[in-house]
Structure formats: C-alpha cells, structure tokens
Structure 1
Amino acid sequence: MTDQAVDTDGAGPSGDASAESHFLGRTRELKELRADIERAGLDTLSGRKAPRARVLLIAGRPGSGRTALAEELVRQVADRYADGVLRVRLGEPDGTPVPVERAARELLTALDLPTPPGAGEDELSEALRAALAERRVLLLLDDAAGAEQVDALLPDSPDCLAVAVSQGPLTGITDVRPCTLGGLDTKSALELLTRYTGSVRITVDPRAAESLVEVCQGQPAALALAGGWLAARPQAGVSDLAKRLHAEADEGTPLSRAFRLVHEQLPARAARILRLLSLAPAGLVDPHTASALAGCSVSTARTTLDDFVALNLLRAVDSPLPQYEIPGCLHPLLHALAESHDRPGELQLARARMLERTVRLLQSCRAITETDNPEAREKLQGLPRSLRFPSPRAAADWLDIRRPALLAAARLAVADGELDTLARRLMSQLVRAMVAHVGTQAAAPDLYGIHRLVLDVAERRRLSREKAAALLNLGDLDARTGRTSEALVRYRAALDAGREANDPYATGRAMESVGGTHQELGDYDRAADWFGRALAQRLARDERADAARLYGRIGTAHTYAGRYGEALRNWRAAVAGHRKSGDVAAQARALSELARVQEYAGRPEESLHTCQEAVEWARRADDVRLQAALQLRLADTLERLGDSAAARLHRGAAERMLGEELQESHESDAEADHGSDACEIRSTSIED
C-alpha cells in the first residue's frame, strides 16, 4: 500500500522523503497543525513557562487517514527536533489499550536506555520523562485510547512535541485542540482512485468516479479498497462498482461495505485465509503464520498475502524477511467476518496450528545455536526445509523481526485459556531461544513478562511445580535488578509451591534463594539458617556437590557476621566436600576463601599455608585468574608478615599470569572471529 492518506492505525507511512509524493490532500489540516505548533499556549499567555511538551491531536474514525496525516506532519517538521522522532502504538489490533508500562519500555529501548525487568508503570514513565527532559524529540503516539495513556508518556520539556492520534478527544490534557478528520476533498479522492485504476477509467466516466467518491464518503481506506478491487478487474466499470456500493448504502459504514464487497469477490480459499488472519498476533503476518492458520503450503500463503497487498487488504512491512501488517481499521471487520463465517472449533484449530508452528520454529531457532550434537543435527535436518534456518544469523534475525508477534502470541495464548498446553510449550521455547541468541541479561525485560504469563497459567491450572519454577525465575530477575524485598516474597511463595508439588529441586532451590536474599539484606543469622535448611535437604539426598557449595555459602554468611570460627568450620567442610566429589576448581576456590577467613581471624601463618595449597590446586585446575588472585593474596599476607621481597615476587608472578591470559584471550577471540565466516548450518536437538 502506498503512503497516501489511507489509515492503517499504526501501520502508516515511514515518514521518509518519498512520502511527500504519495500523500494526498489535507492541505488545510496540515496548515492548521503546523500553525498550532507555533500557537501560544495557555501557560505562555498567563506568563508562565510551559511545563510540558505541546500536544497536537489528530482525531478521526479508523480509515479516515489519521495515521497518514500524522506521519506527513512528522515528515514536514522532523528537522526541527534534533534528537529525532520516536513512535509507539498505544492500541492493540483488537482495540485493547496497550499498557503504559509496555509503551514506555518500547520508547526507552528506542533510546538505547536500560529498562529494568519487572519495573512498573510509574518507574518506567519517570525514567522516560527524565530521558526526554534534556532532549528535543518529536513523539508520535498512534491509536491512543485515552488521555491517561498520553499523559503518562508526555515529556516534561516544552522543547518536545507530541502528536497523538485518537478516535476521539483527549479530555484531561489541557490546551489540546483536536484536528478532526472527515473525508478527502473530491479532487484528492479522484487522484487516489486514479493511482489504482489509471487515468483513462476515471476520465471516461467522471460522474461515475465522483459517485464512487461520494458513496465512499471520501474515506481513504474505503477508496483504497475500491481502487484495489477495480485494479484487479480491468474490464469492470467504475459505475458498476459505484452502483454496487450504492445498493448497500444503508448497511454499515463505507469502509465495511467496500470491505465486504472485496471479501465476497475473493475465491473461497483466499477468503478463508483472509478471515483467519484476524487471529495473527499483533496484526503481524508472515507466510508461516498464514500457512499454519490456513493449513496450506508456505509458498501458497506467500502468494496469497502478496495478492492481498495488491488489493490493499494488507500492507507489506519494510523488513529483511517477508512480513505483512493488517491495517488497524480492517482488523475488527476481519474478526467479525471470521466469527460469522467460521465455526468456533475451526478457529480454535487454526489458532492451535499457528501456535504449534511457532513452537517448532522456535525449537529450530534455538537448536541451530548448539553445534556439538550429531544426533541433534540429524533431527534438525529431518525437519521440513521451510522450518530450518540456513545459519545462526538467519535464526537470530528471524527472532528479532518476529519478536513483537512472538510476545503477542504468548499473551494471546494465555488469555485464550483453552490452549494452555500449547501456551506453556510456546513460552518455554521462546525463553530458550531468547537466551540462546540474546543472552539472559539482554533478554531479561522480555523474560520477566513471559515468566509472569507462565505463572498465570500455572495458577489457573493449579500446576504447583510450574508455579514454583515461574516464581523462582521471577525472583531471580527481581534480585538482579535490586528489588530484594520483592525477590524474597517470590522465593517464599516458590517454597510453598515446591512443597505442595513435592519437588525437592524447587524446595531446595527456594530455601537457598531465601537465604541468599536475607544475606543481601544484611540479615546474616537468617541467611545461615536458611542455607542450613537447604544443606540438610542436600545431605539427605546425598547430593554431595551441592552440599559442599552450601557449606561455603554458610561460611560466607558467618564471615559477614564476624563469626570466624563458624566460618572456618564450614569452609573446611566445603573443601572436604569438593575433594570427595573430585571438583578440583571448586576445591581451589574453597581453599582460597578459607585462607581469606583465616586472615580475617588473625591467623596469617595459617592463611599463608592455605593460600599456597590453593595455588597448587588452582594450577591443577588450570584456572589462571584464580592463580593470579591467590598470588596477590600471598603477596599481601607476606607483606604483613614482613617479607617484602617475597611479596614482590608473588605480585610479579600475578601480573605475568594476567598478561599472558589477556594475550591468549585476544588471540582466541581473533580466531573465533575469523572462523565465524566459514560457519554454515549448526544444529542440535530440537527436543525439549
């Protein structure tokens, strides 16, 4: 679809230089909006400095060209705003308002600023306002449902401008004069039709063309559908279409009548695919989504989607991979058609096919990052070619491009409530794919939302084990972002769920996490107590490696509390446990900590002996960094004992070790970068 004044409710023109030649009409509206930017506000007239950004409101019904007008205005004035243009959509395709938390997070991400996982609406809104306070930006808020959404995102800077697109007034935001849109003027409407039909069909019967504009009430979206219908039928007369639409003048809006006509003229198979697109998450469609919904091949789906673009039923998204967007004004019409033409069971089956296809794609996306499993590679090769990615980079690109649709699919699957098994599989694979390609830390904001969805399903289905896992994951993310008290609440709830599920791993993990949280809060007595409870469980299950690690955690808590005798006893137990389990590196680290506590306890000779033993075990473990750290500790201890010459020797040895390791690390990175160019298909198991 071209960038003329055709409303797409968030899928409007890109605002580039080429948009000027495609935009039609609205000369008066643009003039008024530009004048409104310069107009003195109420604060200025009263002698006060404007405390916030000026808000321009473009109001109109879906299909009136409101988004296209907003984008054209942005294109014309963007050069006044040195820090660029930020865009966010505030309405879901089905009309549900987008939470302010999500909108603020998207804007902060666009500014390359951190968005703490789990942060609430107030925290993110405040962070956004602080980020924009020193910037001069133009903010486009598309498809706003109400004043509350807009108000929460407004910059506290008069140097910024916010352009809001909405169906009605934004009551509650002061000093806003709406620019309300009607239809296009006749000249512009005829020019829009000409772009699809060619000039001859309009000039040979100008009255019929004007009649068609009249019956469409100059609405750009209705005219675009009419133009697409005529373009697909070169032999059809403009008067024929005008008569058809006039005959149904009492049934619905011009847009709904034009849409119904286009749908009725489609082949049955294409019409069914079109209706099923109403199930596409976030209104974003790719050939795989359409293929799964309709139960057809990917190539057939791709051809059909391109046909829909020609008919102005879809808009092709500028993307490295084939992707399409359903115009927002058409989404409710698609949904209504699907409800009236397709049985609920068929719609549910289509949704299930789409989720199953998404799960398999996510499995393939994750599997290609794991290279060392021949069996996994063989299974991946057994997948249909359409589900395999040619390279890890291609998989990462797909994950990045489809991320909004994947997250929306998870939200919709959980909200549906009838496909919880598929929803759980989808969220599990989505987490694994994100961790594999993006990393836990970078993906944390998205992971937090996914784990909350898992928790919703687990509570609804009374799945105690999954509830415990979700709470543990959420607690970990809370703890990493400094929300320690919130993490403690999560971990205690996870402990209750783990006990209810009789899950030893979850209960042990939760007890240890509760202890770690108390330690973070400075309550070392409770920390040691909870670590002790977790230790008792590990000892009862003869889990020696975990027991040794917990001895160390208890020793750390006692060290912080200044109880060095208890700390030494537990660290010695940790050393013995790691020795029995054969973990040389862990034994070296435990000896290192034991030496530290001995030093704190005023036993420098013992600390020196233990540190020397730790160096030997670190050497056996080939842990150069630990060896260097221990050499430095030896140097400090020797310095305190009065042997400065020996201390200098150990410091020199530490510096040499760290220098050699740094050089080896650079060489290894260079080899990895050189070898990455030769990487083709990498695969692993696609099984859970």
Structure 2
Amino acid sequence: MTDQAVDRDGVQVSGTSAQSQFLGRTRELKELRADIERAGLDTLSGRKAPRARVLLIAGRPGSGRTALAEELVRQVAARYPDGVLRARLSEPDGTAVPTARTAGDLLTALDLPTPPGAADDDLAAALREALTGRRVLLVLDDAADAEQVDALLPDTPDCLVVAVARGPLTGISDVRPCTLGGLDTKSAVELLSRHIGSVRITVDPRAAEGLVEACQAQPAALILAGGWLAARPQAAVADLTKQLHGEGDDGTPLSRVFRLVHSSLPGSAARILRLLSLAPAGRIDQHTASALAGCSVSGARHTLDDFAGFGLLRRIDSPLPEYEVPGCLHPLLRAVTETDDRPAELQLARARMLERTVRLLQSCRAITETDNPQARDKLAGTPRALRFPTPRAAAEWLRLRRPALLASARLAVADGELDTLARRLMSQLVRAMVAHFGMQAAAPDLYGIHRLVLDVAERRDLPREQAAALLNLGDLDARTGRTADALVRYRAALDAGRRANDPYATGRAMESVGGAHQELGDHDRAADWFGRALAERLARGEREEAARLYGRIATAHTYAGRYGEAQRNWKAAIAGYRKLGDVAAHARALSELARVQEYAGRPEESLRTCQEAVEWARRAEDARLQAALHLRLADTLERLGDPAAALLHRSAAERMLGKEIQEGETPDPAMEHPANACEIRSPSVED
C-alpha cells in the first residue's frame, strides 16, 4: 500500500523519488521486479525484443494500484538514467484521453516540439522516435484500453512501461497482469494507525481488525475511515465498524465509508465537497472551490485543507496550493451530486467557476501590459485576491494550471449551456498564453482552443467567430506545412466572413488563400487572390494594407517570372509608402524593385534603384538593409565591370556588419531578403 500517492493528471519528468512511506505489497513488488528480468517470448524464440517490456498493475480504483506503480518506479528508477515520464490516460469521469494529447504532453515533457494539430498517429510516431536511444521509465496510469497503451509503447527494449488499469490489456503480447486485492491485515492496521495514532489500535486490536475486514482491506476505504476517526478523537474504532455494518451491504466498502463520511459533514461543507466533482480535470485550487461554493477564498482554502485531512482530497506536489479528487472518489461524488443538488444550482456553480477563471486570466494577461494605462487601471480595479504580484508569478500560475484551464475550456464547450462564458474563457486563455509563452510555444494548445471556438461558432451559427477560428486554424496548419489543409480552412473562412458581412475577415481570408496558393507553387492564382484582397482594401481606403498587397502581388509575379508585372506592382507599392510617409517600408520596396530589375536583365536600372534604396535605408536608420544593399551594389558593379567601386561597397557593408556585432547584435543571415519581400504565407494576426 501507499502513503496516498497521487493518481496523476498530466505529464511530468522526474528522477528517483525520495524514500516513501509505502506499506505492504511485498509479494507483488517481488513479482514485478522479477518480471522485469524475465526473458520475454521474443528472447526465448531467439529474436531481439522489438519494443519495451510492459508491466501491468490491475485492480479496482482505490486498491492502491497507482501507489504500487509509484513504489516500483522508486525502486527501479536508477536503472533508467533518462528519467521517468508519467501520463494519465483517463479523465476523472472515465473518458479516455486522446492519444494525440498524451503524446503531445510527453513530447513537451521531453522538451521536444509538438506540431499543432498533428494527427494521433503522427504524434505517437514522433514520441516513439524521440524515445529511441533513451532509457526511460514510462508510467501510464488509469489506462482505459490496450489501444491507448499500444500507441505509446517505445520501439526499444531499453525502456520500461508500467501500465495501471482496471483489468487485463488484451491485445498487448507478453504481459502478465499483477492483480491487486486488499492489503494484508498487518499493513492495513498500520495504515489506520498512521491516521489515528496507535493508542486506539492498541486498546482494541480486534476492533481495528474488524474495521479492516469491513473495508475489505481496501486502501482508499481505510484512508477515509482513518480520516473520519482522526476528526473524532473520542470515537472508538468499534463505533465506526458498527456504523458501517449499519449501512448494509449496498455497494462497495469504499462507497459505504464515503456515504458515512459525507453524511457526517456539516451541510455547507458537504455541499462544497459535492461541487468539487465539477472541477476541471479533477484539479482544485482555492479559487475554483471559492467560485463553485460562492464563499471567500480564505474560507475555501481552510475547507480544502480539512478535506485533505479526511482523505477526501490529495495535495498535489506543486508550488501552488492545489488538490485533486482521487480517481476512485470522483464517480461517488458525481452520483451524490446528481442526487442531492438541483441542476439549476449546478449550472450556477459552473457559471461562477467559469467567470472566476475568466477574471484570473484577464489579470494574468493584464500584468504583462505595463505600458498600457487602460490595462493598469483595469488591474487596479481587480480584487486583491485575483491579482498576481509579478509577471513571473502570473506565468508560473498559468503554466501550473494549464491542464485544468484547458480541461475547463473543453468541458465548457461540451456542456453547451454556457457558450457565452465559454467563448470569453477561450478568448482570454489564448491572449494569456500568447502574452506569457509566445505564439510559437503556445501553438499546440492554441490549435485545440481554436477548434473548440469553431465548435461553439458552428453550434450557435456565429459566422464572424467561425471565420476567425478558421483563419487561426489555417495559420497554424500553414506553419506546420499542412498547406492544403490550410487552403481548405481559408476558403471556409472566406464563406463565413461573407455570411457575416465582415470586411476584415473577408479580406484577410482572400489574402490567406493567395498565400496558400503561393506556398503550393500556383503563382497565377496567388496573384489573382492577392488582387481580390487589394480591391477590398482600396474600396475601404486602407492605403497601408493596399501598399503591402501590391508588394505581395509583385512577389507572386516575380516567382512566376513575369518581371514587368512585378516591377509595376513594386512601383505602386513604393508610391503608396511614399504617400504614407513610411520611410522604412519605402526603402525595402525599392530594394525589392532593384532585385526584380536585376532579374529582368536591367543592371543599370537596378544600380540606380539600389542607390536610391540605400539613401532611404539611411534615412530609416536601417543598418542591416543598408549593408544588404551595399552587398547587392557590389555584386551588380562587378557584373558591370567596375571591381574598384564594388570593393568600396563591400567594405562599407562589412563595416556596418562589424559595428552591429560590436554592439551585441547578431546579423540576420537572411537580411538580403527582407521579411515582407517574398512572403509566401499569410502573416498571423492575433485573435
């Protein structure tokens, strides 16, 4: 048995844990360790084992199966120098976690990139490849079926997988389950004494053994019984045993002890306990409990501590004060909630929890906007309990609460009755993640959030939100090389934008369709779609966007080899930037015009344009562009037969680059191709 080891949600990497207070299970541990050394069927047949060995610990929730797995990990972790990976394969309500989410979290735990929106098979294959050559111990807790485990098995015999499930995992070869029953009597009595002390055990050892028998020596039931007795120092162990017998034989020992504990709680505490079944991912902090119950944050914290003392909650090893509902208690809590609470009360509690989460996310993002007076004023008006002391504290909270926040978004969308709050939650979650982690690091999570937004928009027939979600998903698809998928999403976004009569979404979608065609090498269609987007911008008088689109059209023509059209469009872009007074953009456009003139076989014109671009780059104080232009001038002058002048320009470029290096700046190796010059993908726009 265990010291109440946590059924983990999410993934983490760890080394060898400290000495635990594990009890019993000596025979099971011995068998499991022997099974590691046992020759597999492949070895016996003369073949090398193609995959990792799988050890299966099977038992009902509450039997201490996760605790046994953790003790085994503690004992053998030193053999696996690349660490221990952990993942939980079922949600608290029993729903199987998608393979893509588990594989993505495991890749993140290994500090490896996770392509946003990748399919289950692709992410599972990426994980198996990442584990090749490593010696890792992989703990898969609460597996729902064999397919979940099989998809994650490393293709190397140097790794070990410890799976925890309710029963056998039929379909995975060469696995002998270690099936758990109750604890031995001595260990079960010792577990009770840890909660209530040795005195009450010593004065009536038969009563203690009777209580163990009434609980069928199940660890979870004994922990609840110990918590109940610990809260009542005057109660005898025999009193609890009698009350349990009075409950009859209805249900399991755990359910009988739980009903007794629940009925003995004060009404307000019992209500809070029931509402904890609504907590996303089974993870609870003081704000979640406070919002669900409608009580103060400090009061919620004290109540959670009391529940942890009773064994009703487990403390999570985290810098934040966090708890979780044990997996074995979640269905019992849900059942009593459905019986004792009205649906309207539960819906109100969910709404309060979502509203509190939205406000915390707003505060988490606002603290990063120190230069925004409006954000500062809004933050000052936020209750002190919802503020973060520093941006670092806000980022840490967001990182630690990430599993619960993402689960909250999924549950809100699945509920379907709080779509307005769900949309606000997802909007603030996206903004907070981008503010603290950056677009690239948050992309895998953002992809899932945008898909949830799309679900709500389609369900509620909200074409504007539908267009925004499709554009965001298309951008993420394009960044990961799924350009054909991105093109489909952009076209759907265009249709949604037209239905919403949203000119921004329509123009953005047209430009994105053009960018996707250009990425696919269809430059004619790219130029056509950029032209359509340009017409929209010109009709609305958006001169800056129009000038930029002239450049994109010119780039498409350049790729297609139509240098005359490219020059005409770059000249239009230059005229637009000149009217806008955008010196830097004017210089870059002149630079690209010079490039096209050189491609077209007009070196003299290119030379004059490039010299003009150098002057504009000097006015814009863009040293990198100046250096790139000097290098291009040097190349052109060499082709025109003037090596002396070419040497002067090359020396000027080297001086500029040397100055940047001395000032601590790293030269951009792609500086001769400015970012807006040959852009082949639509730029991302913050949602």
TM-score, normalised on structure 2? Answer: 0.95
Q: Deviations over 1:4-42 (max 9, x none)?
A: 264753379998877544100000000111111111211
Give 1:516 shift: 0.7
Give the secondary structure class of the aligned counterpart of 1:296: coil
What is the match of residue 677 of structure 1? Answer: none
Partner of residue 670, structure 2: none
Which deviates more, 161-170 or 130-139? Answer: 130-139
Residue of structure 2 equivalent to 1:554: 553
Q: 1:19, 1:72 within 8 Å by CA — same for their partners in 2?
A: no
Aligned twin of 1:396:
395
Bigger relative CO (Cα 8 Å, ≥ 6 apart) = 1
Query: Structure 2: how far apart are the matches of 1:264 and 1:400?
Result: 37
User: Residues 196 and 19 of structure 1: is their aligned pair in 2 closer, same or farther, counting only changes over 3 Å?
Assistant: farther
The answer to whether the Cα contact below 8 Å between 1:5 and 1:220 also exists between their aligned partners in 2 is no
Partner of 1:26: 25
1:110 is displaced (CA, Å) by 1.1
What are the Cα deviations for residues 391-444 of structure 1, in whole angstroms up to 9, with x where unaligned?
111111111110111000000000000000000000000000000000000100
Q: CA deviation at 1:232?
A: 1.0
**What amino acid maps onto 2:388 in structure 1?**
F
Q: Distance in 2 between matches of 1:81 and 1:302?
A: 38
1:317 aligned partner: 316
Give me the whole-angstrom Cα distance separating, in 2, the residues matched to 1:661 and 1:411: 48
Task: Give, in whole Å, the separation in 1 of the partners of 2:438 and 2:216.
Answer: 52
What one-letter code is carried by the residue in structure 1 that aligns with 2:39?
Answer: A
Residue pairs, 1:181-580, within 5 angstroms: 181-580=180-579
Amino acid across the alignment from 2:601: G
Q: After superposition, what is the alpha-carbon deviation per residue over 1:123-167, rounded to whole angstroms, capped at 9, x for unaligned?
A: 001111111121111110000000000000001111111110000
- Is residue 193–residue 227 contact of structure 1 (8 Å, CA) maintained in 2? yes
What is the letter of the counterpart of residue 602 of structure 1? Answer: G
Letter of the 1:203 partner, please give it: T
Alignment check: 8 A CA contact 1:15 1:75 kept: no
Q: Does the 8 Å contact 2:191/2:222 carry over to 1? A: yes
Cα separation, partners in 2 of 1:663 and 1:435, compared to 1, 3 Å: farther
CA distance in 2, matches of 1:5, 1:419: 39
Return 5+ residue gaps in structure 1 as ranges.
668-687
Partner Cα distance (1:608, 1:11) in 2: 63
Q: Which residue of 1 aligns with 2:582?
A: 583
Bigger shift: residues 185-194 or 108-117: 108-117
CA 1:662–1:432 in 2, change beyond 3 Å: closer, same or farther? farther
SS of equivalent to 1:22 = coil
Contact 2:5/2:70, CA 8 A, preserved across alignment:
no
Read off the aligned partner of 2:460 and give its amino acid letter. Answer: R
Letter in 2 for 1:497: A
Deviation of 1:633 after TM superposition, in Å, equals 1.2
Q: Distance in 2 between matches of 1:385 and 1:658?
A: 50
Residue pair 1:146, 1:170 contacting (<8 A) in 2 also? yes
Alpha-carbon RMSD across the aligned residues, in angstroms, is 1.7
Q: Which amino acid aligns with 2:193?
A: T
2:8 is matched by which residue type in structure 1?
Answer: G
Deviates further, 157-166 or 645-654: 645-654
The match for 1:605 is: 604
Letter in 2 for 1:306: D
CA distance in 2, matches of 1:330, 1:15: 27
Measured after TM superposition, the shift of residue 253 of structure 1 is 0.7
Q: How many angstroms apart in 2 are the aligned matches of 1:467 and 1:375?
A: 29
Which residue type is aligned with residue 535 of structure 1?
A: L
Q: Deviation of residue 375 (structure 1)?
A: 3.3
The Cα of 1:584 is off from its aligned counterpart by 1.4
C-alpha displacement at 1:225, in angstroms? 0.5
Deviation at 1:322, TM superposition (A): 1.1
Q: Corresponding residue for 1:147?
A: 146
Question: CA–CA distance in 2 between the matches of 1:529 and 1:610?
Answer: 27
Q: Which amino acid aligns with 1:603?
A: R
Is the 2:13–2:109 contact (alpha carbons within 8 Å) kept by the matching residues of 1?
A: no
Aligned to 1:108: 107
Distance (whole Å) between structure 1 residues aligned to residue 421 and residue 245 of structure 2? 46
* 3-state SS of paired residue (1:162): strand
User: How far off its partner does 1:338 sit?
Assistant: 1.1
- Cα distance in 1 between the residues matched to 2:149 and 2:448: 23
Establish whether residue 634 from structure 1 lines up as the match of residue 633 from structure 2. yes
Matches of 1:16 and 1:88, distance apart in 2: 15
Q: Match of 1:490, SS?
A: helix
The one-letter code of the counterpart of 1:118 is G
SS of the residue 2:158 aligns to: coil
Runs of 5+ consecutive residues of structure 2 not aligned to the other structure: 667-686
Deviating more after overlay: 335-344 vs 61-70: 335-344
Instruction: State how 1:148-163 maps to structure 2 within 5 Å.
Output: 148-163=147-162
Deviations 1:325-355 (A, max 9, x none): 1111111111111111111011000000000
By how many angstroms is 1:608 displaced? 1.0
- CA gap 1:518/1:37 in 2 versus in 1, 3 angstroms: same
- Give yes or no for contact 1:8–1:328 (8 Å, CA) kept in 2: no
